[in-house]
Amino acid sequence: DTEVTQTPKHLVMGMTNKKSLKCEQHMGHRAMYWYKQKAKKPPELMFVYSYEKLSINESVPSRFSPECPNSSLLNLHLHALQPEDSALYLCASNRDRGFYGYTFGSGTRLTVV
């Protein structure tokens, strides 16, 4: 298995809703990432998990809450989002040790109404 699987592919939520994005990989990668990408812009790093521990939080607002229940799963919990949070949310993974490229998932297209 050489894939990063993200669900759902599309999500529409209201500003008072609570929802979660899910990311799964079975490549034995020990680093997992959340990126946010707005239209026609490059991906921006949000969070890094290394060996199931949060190692980087790029000053992301608390309405985004990451969780890494085990080495294969990464969640992003969403609460009280704003319309400007609408974007493509990308999950990625890599082996963490040494120099290895990322494998990206297909992303979740989030629309906040």
Partner 1 sequence: EDQVTQSPEALRLQEGESSSLNCSYTVSGLRGLFWYRQDPGKGPEFLFTLYSAGEEKEKERLKATLTKKESFLHITAPKPEDSATYLCAVQAREAAGNKLTFGGGTRVLVKP
Q: What is the DSSP code (8-state) at residue 72?
A: T
Alpha carbon distance 23, 106 (integer Å): 10
Q: Does 101 bind partner 1 (CB under 8 A)?
A: yes
Q: How far is the CB of 15 from partner 1 (least distance, A)?
A: 23
β-bridge partners, 16 = none
Q: Are 23 and 74 in contact (CB under 8 A)?
A: yes
Q: Does 60 bind partner 1 (CB under 8 A)?
A: no
Residues numbered 6 to 35 that lie near partner 1 (CB under 8 A) are 6, 31, 33
Q: Are 27 and 103 in contact (CB under 8 A)?
A: yes
Which of 13, 22, 79, 96 is close enough to bind partner 1 by CB under 8 A?
96
Which of 12, 14, 51, 100 is close enough to bind partner 1 by CB under 8 A?
100
Q: Does 105 bind partner 1 (CB under 8 A)?
A: yes
Q: How many helices (H) and strands (E) does the chain have?
A: 0, 11
Interface with partner 1 (CB under 8 A): 4, 6, 31, 33, 40-43, 45, 48, 50, 55-56, 88, 90, 92, 94, 96, 99-107, 109
